[in-house]
Chains A and B, each alone.
Chain A
Amino acid sequence: AQAQGKIGEFFPLG
């Protein structure tokens, strides 16, 4: 199954 990802899972927190 697929779920909607979040930005923080792909780009490191600054």
Chain B
Amino acid sequence: MIEAVLAQASIFKKIVEALKELISETNIDFSEAGISLQAMDSSHIALCNLLLRDDGFKSYRCDRALTLGVNLNSLSKLLKCAGNDDEMRIFANDDSGADQLNFSFESANSERVSEFSLKLMDIDADSVDIPDMDYQAIIDMSSSEFSRIIRDLSSVGEAVSIDATKQGVKFSSAGDAGKGSILLKHQKSVDGDSALATSIEINEPVSHSLALKFLSSFAKAAPLTDRVSIHMTEDVPVMFEFKISEIGHIRFYLAPQIDD
């Protein structure tokens, strides 16, 4: 038996919206430690890693670790049946092999309870070991600013160059019709009065050129949190981390370009 209760369905709805453009089907792992998933996009250029810790749920029970395969488009449709403020219960019974994942949504005044279930699927997916790394540069910035920059530069070109120095981070793109760039200067302290401030921890200047279509997908996670951190080292995948308050994170990894 697995059973996880989230105080607000809206968090899970936003998570699925953040993932479904990049990934159509994924295995979800349930364990004593919580719920996690790792999946690559169909081209194996981007990797997504979600973690929801057990103690971030209103209640959490997992008698035996289970891996359940879901179609994220179907899950997204199902979650549209939940009110944002509904309490959401996810449960599955593994006595005879789980073939469906069940959801119940209870309104704040407890007067309405709806129940839905999602058929599970067998998914044979490659998984990778993500090494712990010290990055050369970590940019911490507003997630809405990140979304805006990606949207603005997508009107100019197909790739963005992200150049991080001690002074700031510059996003630039060029295409047939022209070019554009946005420079965000490093602020010494990110406090409550400067929600849009950017801070950069850096050992040495780093630059990456990345496809904007993947970053547009990653930006779908912006509604989950006010901040995003971009972790960069030359010649290794760039990691974009969106922390989900009190419960976990979504991390996206994007493979860099390599010399032919």
Contact = CB atoms under 8 A, between A and B. Distances in A.
A11 B257 contact: no
A3 B257 contact: yes
Contacts of A8: 44, 126, 128
A11 B45 contact: no
B11 interface: no
B176 interface: no
A12 B211 contact: no
The B interface is mostly helix, strand or loop, or mixed, namely loop
Interface residues of A, number: 14
Contacts, number: 60
A4 B45 contact: yes
Interface string B104-142: 000000000000000000000011111100000000000
A6 B255 contact: yes
Nearest to B259: A2
B45 A12 contact: no
Contacts of B40: 7
Nearest to A3: B260
Contacts of A7: 40, 44-47, 128, 237, 253, 255
Contacts of A1: 259-260
